[in-house]
Structure formats: C-alpha cells, structure tokens
Structure 1
Amino acid sequence: MKKKLVTIMAVAVGLTTVLSACGKDGGSTGATTTPTGSAAPKEFTVSYRHTQIKDTAKKRKAMFEDALKEVEANIPGLKFESEGVDEVVNRDTKLKAEMAAGNPPKIFELFGGTDTKNYAKTNNLLDLTPILDELGLKDKFVDLSEFTVDGKVYGLPIAGYLEGMFYNKKIFKDNGVEVPKTYEEFLKACETFKAKGITPMALGGNEAWVLNMLPNTLYVRVGGQSVVDGLQPGQSKWTDEAFVKGHTMFKDLIDKGYFNKDALALKYSQTQDRFANGETAMIFDGGWANQKYSNPDQSKIAADLGFFNFPTVEGGKGNDLINGSYSNGFGFSAKLNENEKKVVKEYIKVFFTEKYQLRQLKEEGFFPSMKLSSTGDKPIIAEMLKASEGKKTFPAFDSMIQPKVKLDLESGIQAFVGGKKSVQDLLAEVQKSQEAENKKTAK
C-alpha cells in the first residue's frame, strides 16, 4: 500500500471519464422534474453524519453541505438529516456502539484501517466494490488500501495527509540555522534556538492524540513501519527496541526544554497559535494545518512558512519514509432500501469528483485522495510535495491498532509527558492492553 505522495500531484491523470459521467460541473446529470399535473414525489429522509463541528472546519462543513444540496436537487423527495458529532466521540463511542447494534447512519465519516476492518466483520458496512465498478471510479483514487478488506472496498477516502515539521524560515535565517537533514543536526538546531531564548518547538497535550504524532515518526524512523504492522498480529511488541528508543528520544526532547513548558495545558488550536504567532521556530503537525499557517489572516508567519520531512536517524530502518496516508473517509450502512441505495450512489457521484477534490485543496490545503489533472499553485503545497519526493508513506499508528489500545496509549502519554510515568512503564502498560485486544480480535 506504500505510495509516494508525489503521485497525487505529479501524475496528470484527469477525471474526464468520471466528469463526463457525472456532469460537467462535477455533479450528476441533474434533477428530475415532476411533470405538470402529476403527484409530487414522496418525501423521504436519509441520515448523514459528519465531524466538521469546530470553528476551523467551517469551510469543510460548507463543502459537505453544498454536496448534500446537489444530491437533494438530483433526487426528488430526498431530504438529508444531517448531524454533526465530535470526531473523537464519533469514532470511539457512537459509531462503535451503532455498529455493534446494527444501526449506523446511512452515510457517515469513517476512519480507515482497523476501524474499517472491524466494522466490515459486522456486515453493517456497505461493500462499495460494485458501485465503484459501475461508476468507473475505482482507479480514480490514489490509494484505497485502508478501506479495503479481503479485496472489497468499504469506504472512500476524502483526502490524504502528511505529517512533518513546519518551520519559520525567518527565525532559521536570522539565527544561521539550516534545515536539518539528520537527527544530530536537528538537535543542534534546537539547542541554538534555546540558547537564544527561542522555544524550538510548540507542543500541546490537552488533547492527547497530538502528543503521539511525533513519537509515531520517531519509532518508525528507528524500526521501520513493520514494527507497527506487527503489533496486532503479535509479531512485534510495544516494549521492543524501536518503540523504547523512539519514546526515549521524545522524552529527551522534553527534558532538554525544546518544547514549551505548558504543553499539557494547551489545546491543539492553542499550540498552533503559538507557532502561527511566531513564538516558536517549529511545530510537528499534519499537512492539514498548512491552511492556517499560510493564511495571513490567521498567521503572522505566512510569508515565512516552510516544511521539511523529519530528519533521518542514524541506522534507522524507516529513514526513507514519511508519515502520510488516506485514513479519513466516508462509509455507508449496509442496510439500505432502494431509495437509500440511489442516494448513496448519487452522493458518491457528486462528492467524489475533481470539483470537490480541488475545492478542499484550494480552500484548506487538504491533499486529494483522487488523481487530479490540476492542483493550483499554493507554495507550501509544493514545498510539502518536495519533502515527500522519493519517500514512501506510512499510515498513523492508530489506523493499525485497536481503538482500545489507542485510548490507553493516549491516557498514558499524558502522564509520560508530565513526568509521572517512565518509558518502560508506559510501554509495558500499552503492551498489556495490546495483548488483551489481540486475544479479542483472534476470537
């Protein structure tokens, strides 16, 4: 499933076939009108759940809503019942319970990897393979592997992502620091900034998932992606050398004072503000954040924004990798009547098109999940693509492990960052959770 993200932009593969099938505007062939004198179409509703409820997601929510309006216009009588739910609540609580009970929404945001595999086993997740074949869409996606189970596709990725180091070019230049290529150079850069009273990196841990981004890259740098791939099958353990070394490196960065001291008190958005306001030299973040950092209305450093892949580690087995994947998407209930099946098909025809893929790229900087014929000219996007050249992508660890293990690691990492838990204690506890979940999965 490893793919170079540069494929997204560099390969000029148009969606001509898709667009001609769906209409020149990226939607379907148009609304069906009711003949004069005939009865009005019977009204019906279809449930739709999204997670775009934060202030930072207003543009994305508007895009989703526009797509729903198009679908409603194309299907007489249709009215969507749209529901916005917090991303963590949707993934870790609501959707999990609904799948167990057999009553998920008809259309909903879905996480790839383990979530999709588990839900496919319940028979409550719609197999999209025949629909994609009918619409000629299967080969239009860059990578469907995280939503594919036993050769069948159960979800469609909305966008891709990269994780790496955003940096302030002015701070680097003013202090004579070059972009580090090795971990040793990176440590020297951090020490230079600290010595001059500049916080090297912004970090926030009020939302625990943020704390796991950098360690994920560190232990994959050390041991390669195979160490994460082997967790659920039991071929590797959280207590193995790669995980110990990666978390020890992270702890070392904390102990040396290379992050802001109030990390655990800061929300993710507040951490981003620190970097966007020019208060730190760097921040390890997801590519989605480029929209904020490059927007002069939200960032004081927009003109000085840069990005680099995290430096190589001596002897590292994952030095040729970059954290990036296609995990966030849409899934559909397997329990649909004929009207609902038409709606699902129409939604896929309308939403998964170059029109909306380009819109999210231009408005928010999200990497397309589909092959596009054009990409726009946003400088930071080009810089991120350059950072990914020659690299293979690896997915975030939480798409490869069970949700319970993810939650246990998140609660443990906060205590770890706060100095209340050692590397060994943290990883021993997470491994215990991993083994317990692996036993459940094997049943």
Structure 2
Amino acid sequence: MAAHRKRYVAGALALALPLALAACGGDSGGGTGGGDGDTLTVWHYENDDSAMGQAWAKAIEIFEDENPDVTVKVENQTFEQIQKNAKIFLTGDDVPDVMEYNKGNATAGQLASQGLITPLTEEADSRGWADTLPDSIQTTAQYDEQGLMGSGDWYGVPNYGEFVGVYFNQDMLDAQGIAVPTTFDEFEDALATFKAAGITPIATAGSEYPLGQLWYELVLHYGDRDLVDAYQLFTEDVDFQAEAFTQATEKLDEWIKAGYIAGDSAALTAEDMGVSFINGTYPLMVSGSWWFGRLVEEIPFTWGQTLFPENDMHPGSSGNLWVVPENAANKDLAYEFIDITLRPEVQEILGQKGGLPVAGDSASITDEKTKEMTENFESILDSDGLAFYPDWPVPGYYDVIVSELQSLVNQSKSPSEVLDGLSNAYEEGKTDLLEG
C-alpha cells in the first residue's frame, strides 16, 4: 500500500478521549466539511473478527481504492466509553468524521437535539438511503427537534440489524419427544413437558437485559403495532394496567411460579445465561441474534433458532448508527464512506457472517444456519415487525425494568405492583423528554 494511503488504527477510546477533551478549547475550523481533506477518521467499536468488523474493513478497502489520496484513520473504541462521554468530546473540534453510535431517544436522539451530530436527510434522499432501507429500520435513523425517534430529520444511517428469537437445543427436544414449537400453545406445552421431566426449560438472566426482553416478547404477543407506537414513539398515552401489559406480566409470573424460569435467575447475567445454554443446562433461550456467531463456534450439540411463536412483532431494531459529528472536518468523505457500507459487496459480507444486512439478499448466503436466521429477520422486516426494545422509550428505563422484573422473579411484588413501578418511571421519563 502506498504511503499516502496508509491506514492508521488507534487504540481504545480510553486513550483517544484525553486528546479529544484537551482539544475542546481549540479551534481547528471543523464542522464546515472542509478541514483536512486528505484524512478520513472513523471511530467504531466492532471486533475485527465480527461480521460488522469484517464488513467495515471491506468498506474501508473500497474507500481507499476509490480515494487514493485520502488517508483513513480507524480508531477502535469501546461502546461504554462512547456511550458515556459522547456529549463531552463532541463539543470540541478534535472529533472523528464518522462514528458508530447507539440508536434511540436516550442516545442518538439526545445528540441530535443538542446539535452535536449532523442532519443527514439531504444525503439520505440524494444517495437513495431512504429508498434502500426498510421503514422500520429508518425509524431508528430519524429524530425530531426534541430528539424523539421515528420522525424528523435523518441523523444516522443503520446498515445491519438485530432481533430477539428463540434458540433451542434440538437434542433435548428430541429426548422429550417435543417438536419445535410453532404456536404459543405448543411453546407452553413444551415448557410443561420439560418441567415434568425435571428440567427447567428457559435460560434467562434477571440482572441484565434478557429477562426484560422475554417479558417484552410476551407484551408483543398480546399487543399490536398501535401499542408499540404508543409505547416507543409516544403517539398515544400508555395504560400499563391495560390488557397487553397485564396479560404479559401475569403470564411471566405464571411461568415463574411454575418453575419454567430458575429461581436464582434474578441474580444472573447475560453471560451466565448464554454459558448455561451453551453447556446444555437449559433447552431454550430467548435472546438476540448477537449470540449467533458465538453459538456457532461453541455449542457441541444440535441446535436451531426460530421466531417467538405466533408473534407478529419482535424485539429488535437496526444495528448501531453511523453518525457524522457536527464539528467533523470532512463530512463529504464521511457521507461517501457511509454510502459504501450499504453497497452489495459490503452487505454480502454481513450476510455471510451472520450480521443481518439491511440492504442485502439472503439468497446469496451459503451457510444454512446463517441463511435461516437472515430469512427470519427478512420476514420481520417484510411485515413491519420490528418493535425495538423495552428500555428504549426514556433514559434510565433499563435499570427500572431490571429491578421490577427481579422483584417478580423473587416474588416480592405482584404483577400489578410491577406494572405500577414501570408506569411511574415511564411517565416521569416521558414528561422530562417532552418538556425538557
């Protein structure tokens, strides 16, 4: 590679942040799209071996080939540090040209409302992103003046997806004579059969996100798109004591009492859950597509993945967003790089590696397991079935959901009391967002 095309890879954000913070008082003339036209600085937090890491590497290779006089600086950051410090370093001028960032009201929405990231609507229209990406994927890209997701300008561009489904241990199903459930009744029958055989059926974790996503699957089983839009996008008021939330929470309580969920799961982490499923302790795990690559590598038994039975909607969303800081020096180069990540050759890498492309085609995927998972995701997109995640609506709601559902597992609160706790925090957070 020629010297003028050398790509620099920096360390974690723990190293990059002091430089960014020290530059906050300086003036490099950033934010105009001019600046150092010979450099594109990219920040992302994907592992090099992951589907996204490999796809971004391909995108950078294409960019370098098409822009031989531009040096690409790639800085591998950490999700936690960017999440925690983005508002601080983006106020300075020593910022990346394009960076990966989390989507939702409490994250990208806040940066958008504070003017820290660049509106991308004109680029989305002129480059065809608005035509390429499915509507439910575009929801996470758009934010209004208050930073609420789902309308307004584009502030980010997603290029992969994720969803929650059911992973199953086929060997354990076969041992009990259970077919892979295709209806909710069959799913509950499977839970009862396993429990009768002395096997706790569902691997989950109450101290982190998994139990909340299981609960949300049940909410979606009893709810509809109008409920999701009211809950996630504030289109209407939400009554947590109404039918869908009540049925879901009472059903989860019923499963807890029946022993379908381990009594100690309130204290378990997502890692505990995943390891227990990989080890064959539990036959079922309701969790996300982000586990797929690890399961492929580590599971010693026959297994599979399916959608939650009879649900029209599922927890899931676009993946993280590419955003362009308002003070970026080379915005035009950033737009070009983002556009490349949506090209077929980059999207195909995501597909082949299990990364759920949002502008790809499952027909080109050769591995059967990967193809099946991608087809499940495509079926969700085709039916406008992405319902996002339960903790998204308001800042701090993740911790509330964890705490309230731990109380349900521990049987220290009734379903109605849990719903009161969820409702109170939701309404307070919603008020803060709308009036803030």
Same fold, TM-score > 0.5, yes or no? yes
Separation in 1 of the partners of 2:95 and 2:402? 26
How far residue 99 of structure 1 moved from its aligned partner, in angstroms, is 6.4
On the 8 A contact 2:167/2:304 being kept in 1, the answer is yes
Match status 1:291 vs 2:282 = no
Give TM-score, length-normalised by structure 1. Answer: 0.76
Match status 1:163 vs 2:180 = no
Match status 1:406 vs 2:398 = yes
Q: 1:96 and 1:210, CA in 2 relative to 1: closer, same or farther beyond 3 A?
A: farther
Name the residue aligned to 2:173. Answer: 172
Match of 1:282 among 281, 284, 289: 284
Separation in 1 of the partners of 2:345 and 2:264? 42
Match status 1:433 vs 2:435 = no
Match status 1:396 vs 2:384 = no
Match status 1:253 vs 2:249 = no
Instruction: Report 1:7-18 matches (<5 A).
Output: none
Instruction: Report 1:145-224 matches (<5 A).
Output: 145-149=139-143, 150-206=151-207, 208-224=208-224
On the 8 A contact 2:240/2:419 being kept in 1, the answer is yes
Name the residue aligned to 1:49. Answer: 43
Q: What SS does the corresponding residue of 1:367 show, helix, strand or coil?
A: coil
Q: Which amino acid aligns with 1:173?
A: D
How far residue 353 of structure 1 moved from its aligned partner, in angstroms, is 1.9
On the 8 A contact 1:126/1:154 being kept in 2, the answer is yes
On the 8 A contact 1:108/1:331 being kept in 2, the answer is yes
Separation in 1 of the partners of 2:250 and 2:114? 39
Instruction: Report 1:233-382 matches (<5 A).
Output: 233=235, 235-293=237-295, 295=296, 297-301=297-301, 304-312=302-310, 319-337=311-329, 340-363=330-353, 365-372=354-361, 374-382=363-371
Q: What SS does the corresponding residue of 1:431 show, helix, strand or coil?
A: helix
How far residue 190 of structure 1 moved from its aligned partner, in angstroms, is 1.0
How far residue 424 of structure 1 moved from its aligned partner, in angstroms, is 2.6
Q: 1:116 and 1:184, CA in 2 relative to 1: closer, same or farther beyond 3 A?
A: same
Separation in 1 of the partners of 2:41 and 2:256? 45
Separation in 1 of the partners of 2:52 and 2:434? 38
How far residue 96 of structure 1 moved from its aligned partner, in angstroms, is 5.2
Separation in 1 of the partners of 2:250 and 2:91? 38
Match of 1:108 among 84, 99, 103: 99
Q: What SS does the corresponding residue of 2:280 show, helix, strand or coil?
A: coil
On the 8 A contact 2:205/2:267 being kept in 1, the answer is yes
Separation in 1 of the partners of 2:299 and 2:399? 32
Q: 1:414 and 1:351, CA in 2 relative to 1: closer, same or farther beyond 3 A?
A: same
Name the residue aligned to 2:225. Answer: 225
How far residue 32 of structure 1 moved from its aligned partner, in angstroms, is 7.8
Deviations 1:378-419 (Å, cap 9, x if unpaired)?
222443436947854132234750222333223333343333
Match status 1:144 vs 2:145 = no
Q: 1:77 and 1:324, CA in 2 relative to 1: closer, same or farther beyond 3 A?
A: closer
Q: 1:99 and 1:442, CA in 2 relative to 1: closer, same or farther beyond 3 A?
A: farther
Q: 1:228 and 1:132, CA in 2 relative to 1: closer, same or farther beyond 3 A?
A: closer
Match of 2:120 among 119, 125, 128: 128
Q: 1:442 and 1:104, CA in 2 relative to 1: closer, same or farther beyond 3 A?
A: farther
Separation in 1 of the partners of 2:314 and 2:199? 27
Q: What SS does the corresponding residue of 2:99 show, helix, strand or coil?
A: strand
How far residue 220 of structure 1 moved from its aligned partner, in angstroms, is 1.5
Q: What SS does the corresponding residue of 2:101 show, helix, strand or coil?
A: strand
Separation in 1 of the partners of 2:333 and 2:109? 24
Gaps of 5+ in 1: 1-29, 35-40, 313-318
Name the residue aligned to 1:419. Answer: 411
Name the residue aligned to 1:119. Answer: 111
How far residue 300 of structure 1 moved from its aligned partner, in angstroms, is 0.9
On the 8 A contact 2:58/2:346 being kept in 1, the answer is no
Separation in 2 of the partners of 1:122 and 1:63? 31
Deviations 1:51-89 (Å, cap 9, x if unpaired)?
336x9x6554454355446546636363526142235x5
Percent identity reads 23
How far residue 373 of structure 1 moved from its aligned partner, in angstroms, is 7.9
On the 8 A contact 2:115/2:326 being kept in 1, the answer is yes
Structure number with greater CO (CA < 8 Å, separation at least 6) is 1
Separation in 2 of the partners of 1:99 and 1:221? 40
Q: 1:184 and 1:133, CA in 2 relative to 1: closer, same or farther beyond 3 A?
A: closer
Q: 1:383 and 1:350, CA in 2 relative to 1: closer, same or farther beyond 3 A?
A: closer
Separation in 2 of the partners of 1:152 and 1:43? 26
Q: What SS does the corresponding residue of 2:315 show, helix, strand or coil?
A: strand
Gaps of 5+ in 2: 7-34, 144-150
Deviations 1:327-352 (Å, cap 9, x if unpaired)?
42221112233xx1133023213323
Separation in 1 of the partners of 2:272 and 2:266? 11
Q: What SS does the corresponding residue of 1:108 show, helix, strand or coil?
A: strand
The CA RMSD over aligned residues, in Å, is 3.4
Deviations 1:170-216 (Å, cap 9, x if unpaired)?
2222211123333332222112112223331211234x222211111
How far residue 167 of structure 1 moved from its aligned partner, in angstroms, is 1.1
Separation in 2 of the partners of 1:102 and 1:242? 48
